[in-house]
Amino acid sequence: MPTANSASTTSIHIATFASIATKAVLSRRACLGTGLALLATVLGCKTTSLETASTIGPWKLAPLTRVPTVTWGGTQGLAQELYYAGEPFEGKPTRVFAYLARPADRAQRKRPAMVLVHGGGGKAFRDWAEHWAKRGYVALAMDLAGNGPKGRLPDGGPDQADKVKFREFTESEASDMWTYHAVSAVILGHSLLRSLPDVDASRIGLTGISWGGYLTCIVAGLDPRFKVSVPVYGCGFLGENSVWKDGSLAAMTPEGRERWLRLFDPSHYVGAVRFPILFVNGTTDFAYPLDSYLKTYRLVPAQWRHVSLAVNRAHGHIWTFPEVDSFVDHLLQGEPSLPKVGALEKRDNRLSVRVKYGGALQETILCYTTNTGPWQKRRWHTAPAQFKGSGRQVTAELPSERPIVAFLAVKDAKGRHMSSEHVELLEP
pLDDT of residue 326: 98
Longest dimension (CA), the chain: 69
Residue 308 pLDDT class (50, 70, 90 cuts): very high
CA 82 – CA 110 distance, rounded (Å): 21
Rounded mean pLDDT, 1-24: 32
Contact between 298 and 421 (Cβ < 8 Å): yes
Rounded to whole angstroms, what are the CA distances from 264 to 127, 180, 365?
A: 29, 8, 36
Q: Per residue in 81-139, pLDDT tens?
A: 999 999 999 999 999 999 999 999 988 789 999 999 999 999 999 999 999 999 999 99
Beta bridge partners of 405: 369, 424
Residue 273: is its pLDDT beyond 70? Answer: yes
Residue 287 pLDDT more than 60? yes
In this predicted structure, the answer to whether residue 347 has a pLDDT above a threshold of 70 is yes
Which residue did the predictor score with more confidence, 42 or 260? 260
- pLDDT score recorded for residue 419: 98
pLDDT band (50, 70, 90) for residue 49: low
All CATH 3.40.50.1820 domain ranges in the chain, comma separated? 22-338
Residue from 270, 269, 272, 239 nearest 256 by CA: 239
Query: Is residue 1 scored above 50 in pLDDT?
Result: no
Position 13 pLDDT exceeds 90: no
Domain 22-338 has CATH 3.40.50.1820: yes
Report the distance separating Cα 413 and Cα 403, nearest Å: 33
pLDDT at residue 299 is higher than 70? yes
Q: Are 21 and 301 in contact (CB under 8 A)?
A: no
Classify the phi-psi angles of 411: left when phi > 0, otherwise alpha if psi is within -120 to 50, otherwise beta: beta
Residue ranges, CATH 2.60.40.10, the chain? 341-425
pLDDT at residue 70 greater than cutoff 70: yes
* Per-residue pLDDT at 60: 96
One-letter amino acid identity for 304? W
pTM: 0.90
Higher pLDDT, 147 or 24: 147
Q: What is the pLDDT of residues 207-247, one digit of tens each?
A: 999 999 999 999 999 999 999 999 999 999 999 999 999 99
- pLDDT tens string 28-44: 333 443 333 433 333 33
* pLDDT, position 388: 85
Q: pLDDT-derived band of residue 50, with 50, 70 and 90 as boundaries? A: low
pLDDT of res. 270: 98
Distance between CA atoms of residues 125 and 104, nearest Å: 18
The CATH class of 341-425 is: mainly beta
pLDDT score at 53: 62
Mean pLDDT over all residues of the chain?
89
The answer on pLDDT for 397 being more than 60 is yes
- What percent of the chain shows pLDDT beyond 90? 84
d(CA 262, CA 257): 8
